[in-house]
Every structure is written in C-alpha cells, then in structure tokens.
Copies of this chain bind each other. A is one copy, B any other.
Amino acid sequence: MLSERRLEVLRAIVQDYVGTEEPVGSKALTERHRLGVSPATVRNDMAVLEEEGYIAQPHTSAGRIPTDKGYRLFVDKLAGVKPLSTPERRAIQNFLDGAVDLDDVVGRTVRLLAQLTRQVAVVQYPSLTRSTVRHVELLSLAPARLMLVLITDTGRVEQRLVDCPSPFSEASLADLRARLNSRVVGRRFTDVPPLVQDLPESFEADDRGTVSTVLSTLLETLVEEAEERLMIGGTANLTRFGHDFPLTIRPVLEALEEQVVLLKLLGEANESGMAVRIGHENAYEGLNSTSVVSVGYGSGGETVAKLGVVGPTRMDYPGTMGAVRAVARYVGQILAES
C-alpha cells in the first residue's frame, strides 16, 4: 500500500502531465504543488511509484509520465468527477432544447460533447431492443408489394419492403394492420414474437403466406435493427493528440469508421454508471493509446443507449467525466419530454 504522500505525488504528476504534455521532474513538482517536502524526497517517492508500475520514464534521466496503471489509480482513487459550471449547464440545456427530431437530438449531442471535451464524441442512437412499438403501418405499393413501417417510442422509423407470395387485398391489409397494431403497440420489442405467432391462422388460406412474410419481416427488423447506429463528431480534435502523428492517429480513424468496434467499446460501459477504459484496457488494438469514457443514457432510469468520448490517455479525466455525465443526463431529459 502506498503512503498518503506518494499518492499525492502521483496525483500531482498526472495533473501536471495532462497540463503540459511533458514528462514532469521532481523539481518542477515541488514548485508547482505544495507538497511540503524537498525534491529529493519526491525523487525517492517517484522511484517507488516507478517500481510499482504507476509511472515510467521515457528515457533514462528524463521526467516521469504516468502509465496506464497510474491513470487507473488516479481515476479510481485520486480524482472525483468535476461538475460543470452553471453557465456550462445552461448552455447544454439551451443547445439541446432546440432539437426538432431524433436525428437532430443525436446530432446536437455529438457536437456538444465534442466541443465540451475537445475530443472525439460518439453517440449511439437509442436502442430498439429496449424500445416499445408505437405503431406499425402497412402500405400497399403494388398488388403484391407492401411497405412495412415501424415507428418506435423513441421516434425512430424503420421501413422495409415486403414482396408478397400472392396478391393481397386492401381489405385484408386493413385487417392485418388493425390486428397487428392492437397486439403489439406499446409492447417491448423482445415481447413481440410470441404475441403475433398465431396471427396467420386467423386469415384465409390465400393470405396466410403473405401474413407470414410480413410477420417475419417485422421480426427480422426488430432483431436486425437492434444492431445500432452511431454518430461521430469532433474528429478535428484528433490533431491535438500528440506529436508522433500519423502513427497514433491512423488506427484511431480506422477504429472510428468501424462501427462494430465502436459499438463494442461503448457496450463495455457498465450497465450503471460511467466506464473509463484506459489505454491497453481497450480490447481493440488500434485504441491502445487512447482512453474511452462512456456512459449509458435514457429516460426514467432506463438505459436506452450509450455515449462517450475517445481521447488520448493523457486527458483531463475529471473534466471529461463531468462533461460526459452531464450531457448524458440532459439527453435523457430531452428524450423523456418528446
């Protein structure tokens, strides 16, 4: 177990390094922080911290920089979450309040988050699997061609073309539309399948094929579209990453285009509360020199999706976590209102 002062030294190192981006030495530390001890003592502490793996030297006889393990300790034990200032909160609310539809909410959120944290922001669209059905619409495009439109309570709309095995009358269509809606409206996606299973039987033999096709398309949409969409913003902030550019930035850009990777990343956010993945803690190799701060958001205690930021491991964790948490809260509120 590290002594109180050694932890204090580690905290000081992290703070200074985050601020200056340069390895921090013992003398500078004592000057910038009131540790009450001499540089020599700090040196001894640093030696211990290094031995324990919390800090490292880029080269012999240079200052120290925190390791992933050091950041981890810092985040877990040494730093809280820095709440936003009142003007910042007000700005968030004002900015998000102007949104006109779901796309706009997500778009504004991602811009806001990128601006507040000065990092790359990622926002997941509200998940369908947790949503409920608000309405299912069936439209006849041609005698044997339908369009299925699914509207969710989060305001999302999905459409699918359905090719029917046989022509389908307008009357049957209205019938199916009415029955379908009476059964599934207000239900959660996961609850839908058993509720519609027996529907084909109540139609005439000629129409059963079509009804089955429509149903399977619907179920497919529910499952398949649970594969979520994302919006990304603030990539210009990547330029603030570090000095050794092309090498660091390239894999990050590649990761950002792989939605699957990002979804997994956000998915790792703990069900409740915020998740911080530091450097090598990220499963995806290209993000080994980045940290990901993510959190779920939603209305009324329910998590419908996640959002977060991707930045260099050398980031302002308290500030970033504060911004991410605040934005998540406000987005949740906005969703609840609409």
Residues of A whose CB lies within 8 Å of any CB of B are 101, 134-135, 137, 139, 141, 147, 149, 151, 155, 157, 159-161, 233-236, 238-239, 245-246, 249-250, 253-254, 256-257
Contact = CB atoms under 8 A, between A and B. Distances in A.
Contacts of A238: 253
B235 A239 contact: no
A176 B141 CA distance: 19
A137 B134 contact: no
* Copies of this chain, tallied across the complex: 2
B101 A160 contact: yes
A230 to B, nearest CB: 12
A249 B246 CA distance: 10
6 tightest A-B contacts by CB?
A: A236-B253, A239-B250, A245-B245, A236-B254, A239-B246, A157-B159
Contact of A151 (B147, B151, B245, B249): B147
Contacts of A236: 250, 253-254, 257
A135 B147 contact: yes
A147 B338 CA distance: 13
A243 to B, nearest CB: 9
Contacts of A250: 236, 239
Given A135-B147, A235-B253, 6 more contacts: A101-B161, A137-B149, A155-B159, A236-B250, A236-B253, A236-B254
